[in-house]
Amino acid sequence: MTADGPRLIDWTFSIRAPAALDHGFAHISLTEFALDVTDNPQRPLAVNAAAQSEYARLSGKPVAALRQAMETWLPIAIVRYFLLMGRPTSERWRRMMQRAEAALRPQD
């Protein structure tokens, strides 16, 4: 409990990092993994958009700024998911890992 009310903590996967990394985790879950298991691909995409919009409203920051900050952390979020889940489970997952590897390589 805090002075502002209750706060939830995901103790299982808690780490110290900027909120942008948490947005990255949610974004990947809803725009990548959920698409492999849902009967309505639009539903997780709409949930992702709503979550970003609500966070922007509550934080007073534009959605575009939050998305830009999140993009920086997406490769790290993908790698962390890989470490937690093990080997790639779908072609989508393989493509995500390729994007993360490319983003994390030093630029020449």
- Average pLDDT value for residue range 31-44: 88
Q: Give dist(CA 97, CA 28) in Å, integer.
A: 12
Residue holding tokens 């937690």? 84
pLDDT band at residue 51 under the 50/70/90 scheme: very high
How much is the pTM? 0.72
Residue spans of the domains in the chain: they are 17-103
Rounded CA gap, 27 and 108, in Å?
A: 29
Task: Evaluate whether 50 touches 27 at the Cβ level (below 8 Å).
Answer: no
**Per-residue confidence band for 108, with pLDDT thresholds at 50, 70 and 90:** low
Residue in 99, 102, 85 with CA at minimum distance from that of residue 36: 85
